[in-house]
Amino acid sequence: MANHKQGGGQFSECTGDFKKITIDELLQLDTEVLIPAAVGGVINRDNVESVKAKMIVEAANMPITCDADSKFNDKRVVVIPDILANAGGVVVSYLEWVQNHQRYQWDEVKVNDELDRRLRQAWEEVRAKADQDKLNYRQAAYVIAVERIIKAINMRGF
């Protein structure tokens, strides 16, 4: 069992019966799902070929560089882009803003229900666009975003 400091500390300070591995070794593990969650650009042109995961969920901001993303697309590795996987905090910040403007406080259950509804809807829209237009999930999310911007611009009369 690993020992850790109560209330936090550095991962490198953990002790116990486990093997420490480098970031490169972690990225090279033969795994179903890899979730880079801390560093942008951690998967790049220098290490993309050694990544063996079948699915990558971007929990960090842009942990996969553009050139690495293209390689994953060519190899048909499923990438759930940060714009979807990492959106929960932004959505909850928006919900807090809405509450502040309404001068009303929602309970935690309502916030979580609204978050869940919005994230599921976003996922379904991206998945449907990807299937319909034969795009990867990142491309589908960006197409939807650009279409929404165009719609907003047109509604404003520009």
Query: 12 lies in a domain?
Result: no
Q: Say whether both 101 and 156 belong to one domain.
A: yes
Domain of 46, in residue numbers? 18-85
* 2 found inside a domain: no
Residue 1: pLDDT over 60: no
Q: Are residues 63 and 122 in the same domain?
A: no
Residue 5 in domain: no
Q: Are residues 97 and 80 in the same domain?
A: no
Q: In what order do the strands lie in the sheet with 33-34?
A: 33-34, 55-57, 78-80
Q: What value does the mean pLDDT of the chain take?
A: 91
Question: Is the residue at 61 inside a domain?
Answer: yes
Assigned domain for 6 exists: no
Question: Same domain, yes or no, for 155 and 92?
Answer: yes
Q: pTM for this structure?
A: 0.81
Are 24 and 77 within one domain? yes
Q: What is the pLDDT of residues 59-100, one digit of tens each?
A: 999 999 999 999 999 999 999 999 999 899 999 999 999 999
